[in-house]
Amino acid sequence: MNDNKPLSGRVTLVSGASRGIGYAAALALAKAGSHIIAVARTQGGLEDLDDAIKAVGGEATLVPMDLMQPDGLDHLAVAIAERWQRLDGVFANAGVLGEMTLAQQVTPKVFDQVFAVNMTANYRLIRALDPLMRASPSGRALFVTSGVAQSRRAYWSAYAASKSALEAYVSCYAKEVEITDMRVNLLNPGAVRTHMRGKAVPGEDPSTLPAPSDVAPLVVDMLSPDYNKNDQIISFRESAYYSGH
């Protein structure tokens, strides 16, 4: 294995890849040698990512797709199977905040969207991609959670509930695959300088927060074949990659 390209020859899918942590992680994974399957709704953001990946000598396959689209991931899984016959890594990063409001004021439309993207899309991802990850000699899956899944702060009800559900589902899945060569974990990035954080806490000074590129090396580590933890929630701020701000 090339020490400069520890993920050489691997194929990694990144959802929510057009901006924020997904964009930074996809670029870092490509620098580490992995082919990137970049999934996002925004065509322009995906094209920007593709340019950045090519600039570092990497390769990407762009998949403009709304994760709320029924059966979209099933069709993608078929295409991946035909081209690569396996999938080595999944970074399930896509998520939506919804609205910061009282629990009784969350509209059905917002509630349904938050659960559709944060929970149901990840269930569909697991269902569609599990056979491909099992076909890899070292399949690694990483899902993004949030501290509010446990702290359950006021005004975060729909988002917190969706992340709590995700943590439960992923933990059950991780226990089911622990006898295989797969490893499945969750990442809590904490407050990071992203569009979602700006929407959630509009008065916060973004310069006080770590950038998405600060989190990316931890994602690369957790999706590498040498990473052997399973069924863990890893906090970026408690990792060696967090330098403090």
For the segment 45-97, what is each residue's pLDDT rounded down to a tens digit?
999 999 999 999 999 999 999 998 879 999 999 999 999 999 999 999 999 99
Could you read off the pLDDT tens digit of each residue along the chain, which spans 245 residues? Answer: 566 799 999 999 999 999 999 999 999 999 999 999 999 999 999 999 999 999 999 999 999 999 988 799 999 999 999 999 999 999 999 999 999 999 999 999 999 999 999 999 999 999 999 999 999 999 999 999 999 999 999 999 999 999 999 999 999 999 999 999 999 999 999 878 777 777 777 777 777 788 999 999 999 999 999 999 999 999 999 999 998 65
Within a domain: 44: yes
C-beta of residue 136 within 8 angstroms of C-beta of residue 86:
yes
Q: Which residues partner with 186 through β-bridges?
A: 143, 233
Within a domain: 1: no
Question: Would you call 123 a catalytic residue per the annotation?
Answer: no
- Which residues does 33 contact at the CB level (< 8 Å), separation at least 6? 2, 5, 6, 7, 8, 9, 10, 58
For the segment 31-56, what is each residue's pLDDT rounded down to a tens digit?
999 999 999 999 999 999 999 999 99
Within a domain: 36: yes
Count of domains for the chain? 1
Within a domain: 43: yes
Residue 157: name the closest of 105, 109, 122, 203 by CA.
105
Within a domain: 135: yes
Within a domain: 91: yes
Within a domain: 244: no
Residue 226: name the closest of 196, 181, 187, 194 by CA.
181
> For residue 150, what are the domain limits?
11-238
Determine the length of the chain: 245
Exactly one of 159, 169, 241, 242 is catalytic; which is it? 159
Provide the whole-model pTM.
Answer: 0.94
C-beta of residue 241 within 8 angstroms of C-beta of residue 213:
no
Return phi, psi of residue 62, to 5°: -95, 135
Within a domain: 38: yes
- CATH of residue 182: 3.40.50.720
Residue 129: name the closest of 177, 62, 59 by CA.
177
